[in-house]
Amino acid sequence: MPESNQHNPGKAADPDHHSLGQHPLLASLGDAMPLREMSQDQLTDVAAEVRDVLCNLLATRTAHFASNLGVVELCLALHCEFDFREDRLVWDTGHQIYPHKLVTGRYHDFPSIRTQGGLMGYPNPAESPYDLFMTGHAGCSVSTAIGLRSGDVLMKQPGRKSVAVIGDGAFPSGIVFEALNNAGELDDDLTIVLNDNKMSICHRVGAVASYLDKLRVNPFYSGLKSEVVKLLDHVPMFGDPAERFLAQMKEGVKAGLLGGMLFEELGIRYVGPIDGHDVGLMRKYLKMARESSGPMLLHVVTEKGHGYKPAAEDPVYFHTPPAFTNVDATEETAPKSDGNPPYTLHARDAIRRKMTTNDKVTIITAAMCQGNKLEPVREQFPDRFFDVGICESHAVAFAAGQCKTGMRPIVDIYSTFLQRSYDQIFQEVALQDLPVVFMLDRAGLTGPDGPTHHGLFDIGYMRVFPNMVCMAPGYASELEPMLDFALDHDHPTSIRYPKASALELDHAPAKVEIGKSETLREGKDGTIVAFGAILDQALEAAQRLEGELDIQVINARFVKPIDHEMVKQVVESGNFVITAEEGARMGGFGSALLESAVEQRLDTRMITVLALPDEFIHHGDRGDLLDQHGLSCAAIMQACRDQACLNPVCNS
């Protein structure tokens, strides 16, 4: 396999580089069917072309990288042995979808991936019949594959096969074991490919990871497997008594070496470990799975970043690296930034300071240590840092248990992933009125990651719970005071913040008091009430309207409880009121303000709600998406002008 000196990311900037001459095999694929007729040498060439495309992509933008390099041969083997125009394939999670897209007719569109209007960085059924689910959250592939198989049988199409590809990082998710329990009971045809690269986004954690390590490194079993494979090369693949004897012997040895055999005891045949970078070997086992009956788990061992030396050596950094300009990935393309640190770093530093001064504070994350920038916290406080893997429901219930003992846990999880623990937020935290602090990173638009990752719904799904207090900082220096408030508050709290540079104000934050907003700018013509980081755009809009309109800007801080006195004051002024938030309109901050106004029997006709519409927002640059949906500075300015023209006080 070529090392890094075979790839030149810098060439991707030239549109002619992505051409028939550069990648002739990929360019010729209208769909995946020609792969089935290719020789082993041709498939090796296709794999090299795929890796070249992936490496060149890094010259143009950040993208999921190491995980895609690791599944190239697995992807080719799957498409060689199954016809996924009819058979079913679910990738879990979908960020390893790039090779699949390249061999299913999307090579010529691939330069557009993760750009607005271009290919999505995750599976997208709107792009291709080869994509069945928009899988951006981990763990659900086995469940959906079982459902697909069940539906095909009921629809009298039993010949259609179902395959779920799931990584070892996602495998400990609770829903996976719910699905395995069901699969073993149904005993229907199903192939589960466990892609074991010893990684999640960061290094995986937990007992399941240790169990897989034992399966993978057991020298006696691995050696025996190799001998069985050699013998299988000389006997008919199916039906032959010798093959059946070998299979029975193999299963017996596994049971003797590895005790109860977790998968076998669940009624799922276990096969492996298999070298995931040997296309021929994988084709042999995938063919066996396709022609066998009942559920089967193929344990495939791959290397994250395979074929590109820097990514293989540092797969954590190269999970979603910045764009690079040279072959050795040592010179980064400068990212677009206003120079301010992101909210994530401010949150991390605030958490670290709280843990330094209060030994009852713990931090819990769900396989997102790197995404939440918590590595320094993990190093400094290993006894109070808990990474539970991709198990958000467990993370929240675990935090509730710690609370009962007198600890003060902080649950630091992306907004979009915290949804997975909704029942535990309800039952174990809010219902028990336990002071768990939820830090909701990536709340708002996440740019090129798209609809599976935008954190648009947490305002609505958190504020409905009794006992819950919901906050959002509008600028950098008030995040830590909010965390101070949350840790002193004897009820559950949530703090949301986006994947964005934090607004820096030359301003000392007012004391954070429950349900109290902060007025940052006075004005007599109208008011913008901003909840969260959209305050940046609101303040800029008010400033640029100087001389045209005199706009008051209020930093709401709380959506629950909302500042009812503030609502009464701004609505009774007779001027227009515009609410702004980077979240879904339904159930959001604007809805909360309207609810407050109605409860106080105020006239709501001059209230305008600026929020994201009732639809799933596609991927694109955050600034462009804000503009497209009426939340940029320019859009807020125009909303102020429009409302001023309708204001009878202004017109008089």
Which among 557, 626, 627, 613 has a CA at the least distance from the CA of 585? 613
Distance from C-alpha of 202 to C-alpha of 469, rounded to nearest angstrom: 31
Amino acid at 612: L
Q: Buried b / exposed e across 519-552, counting CB within 10 Å, b at 16+? A: bbbebebbbbbbbbbbbbbbbbbbeebeeebebb
Give, in order, the Cα–Cα distances in Å from 503 to each of 255, 263, 497, 647: 59, 51, 11, 31
Which among 462, 447, 341, 475 has a CA at the least distance from the CA of 413? 462
Q: Max Cα separation, the chain?
A: 96
Q: Out of 114, 254, 284, 304, which one is annotated catalytic?
A: 304
Q: Out of 392, 478, 518, 581, which one is annotated catalytic?
A: 392
Distance from C-alpha of 233 to C-alpha of 326, rounded to nearest angstrom: 44
Catalytic annotation present for 304? yes
- Would you tell me the crossing angle of helices 343-357 and 479-488 to the nearest 10 degrees? 40
Q: Look-up: residue for tokens 């291709």? A: 128
- Four-CA torsion 362, 365, 368, 374, nearest 10 degrees: -10
3-state secondary structure of 583: strand
Q: Are 575 and 649 in contact (CB under 8 A)?
A: yes
Distance from C-alpha of 318 to C-alpha of 4, rounded to nearest angstrom: 13
- Would you tell me the crossing angle of helices 207-217 and 219-232 to the nearest 10 degrees? 50
Catalytic annotation present for 496? no
Q: Are 322 and 333 in contact (CB under 8 A)?
A: yes
Q: Out of 204, 254, 420, 442, which one is annotated catalytic?
A: 420
Distance from C-alpha of 623 to C-alpha of 405, rounded to nearest angstrom: 44
3-state secondary structure of 456: coil
Catalytic annotation present for 420? yes
Going by the DSSP 8-state scheme, the letter that residue 430 receives in this structure is I
Which among 549, 540, 603 has a CA at the least distance from the CA of 571? 603
3-state secondary structure of 296: strand
Distance from C-alpha of 356 to C-alpha of 377, rounded to nearest angstrom: 10
Amino acid at 516: K
3-state secondary structure of 440: strand
Distance from C-alpha of 531 to C-alpha of 583, rounded to nearest angstrom: 10
Q: In this structure, what token pair is assigned to residue 199? A: 């990684």
Q: Are 481 and 512 in contact (CB under 8 A)?
A: yes
Burial of 576 (0-12, 13-18, 19+ CB in 10 A): buried
When computed from its CA atoms, the radius of gyration of the chain, rounded to whole angstroms, is 27
First to last CA, the chain: 76
Active site residues: 304, 392, 420
